[in-house]
Amino acid sequence: MGTCLIAGCGYTGTRLARRLLGQRPVLALVRSAASLAVLAREGISAVPADLDGGSAFPVPPDLAAVIYLAPPAGPDGEDRRFARFLAALGEARPQVLVYVSTTGVYGDTGGVAVDEAAPTAPAEERARQRLHAEDQARRWCEARGARCVILRVAAIYGPHRLPLDRLRRGEPVLRAEDSGPGNRIHVDDLVAACLAALARPGAGVVNVADGCPESMAAFTARVAALAGLPAPRKITWAEAQDTLSPGLLAFLRESRRVLNPRLVRELGLTPRGPEAGIRDSLREMGLPVAGG
């Protein structure tokens, strides 16, 4: 089995590389020496790559699969970083490219449900960059006869990605009546989706969300209850303007219910719900879980 190149081997990519070890050759692209050292300790082959500086990286001669997890970068809603990455692949012809995008490309639907056939209307800059990269991925794959899978991913949570510090600091959350449903996926279910996208013959867009949309207030309260911490104080939208960070406010402005029919039907996955995902995360962190 040919080499799988993982571009952007951070939180999700490292967990993915661990799963692939022993199954096929893996090469990870990382930005920092610290990341190189972490991966080396785990026996994961990695090389430094500055996709913004245009530096070259070695392309495995037996390259069979590419999974792109790096965040976008570029002006005017364009992802120039991804364009440089594709150019650096040269004449390589992998069998499959998996591009990890975002459900943010659907924009704000006011809580209306979206599946993979829904129109895209990204409002945030990063979502516009992701949509631009999706188009690049399709065109690059069409020119090479490669299979293109675009995973539109909801907010990722998991071990060390829970709002525990915010709860311990007593930070408030936007009350449920002022916020629409949010969508999430446990990191290991995202990893499973990446593996299924490599192994199964399908192509096109797949929404990667747990199918259990709930407000940030509800999710944070669930984390607090399971972690044995005090429930967060709830604030109005007007109060939130002076209290919450700009990034969090931007996230809360958009509301949609992400459906995942292709994830279940074509990739064969049934992601865990938030209760199970939070419990699994706390246990992996070695923290007690209320109720066992």
Contacts (Cβ under 8 Å, ≥6 apart) of 89? 59, 63, 66
| Cα 21 from Cα 168, distance rounded (Å) | 37
| Cα 292 from Cα 285, distance rounded (Å) | 15
Q: What is the pLDDT of residue 247?
A: 83
**Which tens digits make up the pLDDT trace of 188-220?**
999 999 999 999 999 999 999 999 999 999 999
| Cα 91 from Cα 172, distance rounded (Å) | 52
13-17, 37-41, 119-123, 245-249: least confidently modelled range: 245-249
Position 33 pLDDT exceeds 90: no
**Which tens digits make up the pLDDT trace of 103-117?**
999 999 999 999 999
Helix or strand or coil: residue 7? strand
Burial of 255 (0-12, 13-18, 19+ CB in 10 A): middle
Q: What is the pLDDT of residue 162?
A: 98
Q: What is the pLDDT of residue 190?
A: 98
Q: What is the pLDDT of residue 251?
A: 83
| Cα 288 from Cα 164, distance rounded (Å) | 13
| Cα 122 from Cα 104, distance rounded (Å) | 6
Position 175 pLDDT exceeds 80: yes
Percentage of residues in the chain with pLDDT exceeding 90? 88
**Which tens digits make up the pLDDT trace of 114-166?**
999 999 999 999 999 999 999 999 999 999 999 999 999 999 999 999 999 99
Position 250 pLDDT exceeds 90: no
Contacts (Cβ under 8 Å, ≥6 apart) of 182? 154, 155, 213, 214, 215, 216, 219, 251, 255
Q: What is the pLDDT of residue 1?
A: 84
Q: Distance of CA 243 to CAs 44, 169, 212, 214, 246, Å?
A: 42, 13, 27, 22, 9
Question: What phi and psi, each to the nearest 5 degrees, are found at residue 160?
Answer: 65, 15
Helix (H) or strand (E) holding 41: helix 33-41
Position 32 pLDDT exceeds 80: yes
Taking CB atoms within 8 Å and a gap of at least 24, the contacts of 52-55 are 52/81, 52/84, 54/84, 54/88
Tokens 């089995």 locate to 1
Q: Show the tokens assigned to 61.
A: 């001669």
Position 54 pLDDT exceeds 80: no
pLDDT band at 179 (very low <50, low <70, confident <90, very high): confident
Burial of 132 (0-12, 13-18, 19+ CB in 10 A): buried
Number of H helices and number of E strands within the chain? Answer: 11, 13
**Which tens digits make up the pLDDT trace of 122-131?**
999 999 999 9
Q: Show the tokens assigned to 197.
A: 């996208």
Q: Show the tokens assigned to 193.
A: 């989706």
Question: What phi and psi, each to the nearest 5 degrees, are found at residue 129?
Answer: -65, -40
